[in-house]
């Protein structure tokens, strides 16, 4: 019996739609009156866990779920020991550096050494500025990181951007794109290698559904 870790939030509806296309229906998670965090699919072939996006790779790494769907940004940040399998092609966004529109800086390398950069993606931000050989102080924030530059606590932020609307409404602008992010299929490495419960067959069906969606 396969268990899939599904992310709450923006990736959930597309993830359920994808799994439904291969015969695993977890649509009950889309019912606003449903409070269950673990459900069977309608044919009792598999189970799904509804967890925070950031927790998906944790449940997969520790074997409570054999498969998971999670944003690439989380994989880059968490560095969990999971098998990265398929780019699912939805949930497009980008990890970017942003500053106040009135800031004199228009690229990341223009930031002064030892500037403060606010981010909930601490590892991603650190890795990026290290690649530039630019020493900065990464300030961990897990709420509205846009307030960092607004209040003067930081010169810049590193955050996910989809439409850019939130940045614009808070008078911030992107000055650098670090990487693109989409939803990814991940697996528990040992379960994948041993093909427990026909796991590889399900993965192949998901791959075929993604390819069909792209072709269509």
Chain-wide mean pLDDT for the chain? 95
Distances in whole angstroms, Cα of residue 125 to Cα of each of 35, 60, 159: 35, 24, 9
Residue pLDDT, tens place only, 125-169: 999 999 999 999 999 999 899 999 999 999 999 999 999 999 999
| CA-closest candidate to residue 19, choices 197, 189, 205, 196 | 205
Asked if 152 and 78 sit in the same domain, the reply is: no
- Residue 135 and residue 86 in one domain: no
Q: What is the pTM of this model?
A: 0.92
Looking at residue 59, which CATH number applies to its domain? Answer: 3.40.190.10
Do 29 and 106 lie in one domain? The reply is no
Question: How many whole angstroms separate alpha carbon 168 and alpha carbon 149?
Answer: 13
Over the stretch 172-207, which tens digit does the pLDDT of each residue have? 999 999 999 999 999 999 999 998 888 999 999 999
pLDDT at 25: 94
Q: 74 and 97 share a domain? A: no
Q: Is the pLDDT of residue 215 over 80?
A: no
Q: What is the DSSP letter of 29?
A: G
pLDDT at 216: 65
Count how many domains the chain has.
Answer: 2
Same-domain check for residues 28 and 42: yes
Note whether 14 and 63 are same-domain residues: yes
The residue segments making up the domain with residue 137 are 93-180
201 & 190 share domain = yes
- 130 conformational bin, left if phi > 0, alpha if psi -120 to 50, beta if neither: alpha
Whether residues 110 and 126 share a domain: the answer is yes
Neighbour order of strands in the sheet with 137-140:
137-140, 116-119, 156-161, 93-100, 172-181
76 and 112 fall within a common domain: no
71 lies in the same domain as 116: no
């Amino acid at each position: 019996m396969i268990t899939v870790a599904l992310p709450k939030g923006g990736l959930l509806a597309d993830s359920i739609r994808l799994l439904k296309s291969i015969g695993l229906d977890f649509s009950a998670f889309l019912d606003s009156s449903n409070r269950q965090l673990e459900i069977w699919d309608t044919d009792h072939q598999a189970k799904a866990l509804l967890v925070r996006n950031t927790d998906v790779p944790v449940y997969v790494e520790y074997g409570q779920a054999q498969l998971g769907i999670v944003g690439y940004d989380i994989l880059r940040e968490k560095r969990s020991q999971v098998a990265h399998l398929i780019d699912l092609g939805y949930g497009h966004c980008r990890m970017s550096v942003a500053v106040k529109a009135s800031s004199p800086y228009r690229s990341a390398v223009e930031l002064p050494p030892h500037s403060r950069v606010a981010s909930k993606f601490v590892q991603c931000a650190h890795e990026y500025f290290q690649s530039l050989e630019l020493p900065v102080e990464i300030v961990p924030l897990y709420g509205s990181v846009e307030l960092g530059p607004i209040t003067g606590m930081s010169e810049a932020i590193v955050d996910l951007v989809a439409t850019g609307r939130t940045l614009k409404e808070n008078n911030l602008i992107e000055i650098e794109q670090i990487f693109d992010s989409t939803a990814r299929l991940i697996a528990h490495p040992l379960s994948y290698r041993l093909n427990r419960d026909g796991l590889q067959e399900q993965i192949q069906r998901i791959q075929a559904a993604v390819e069909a969606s792209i072709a269509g």
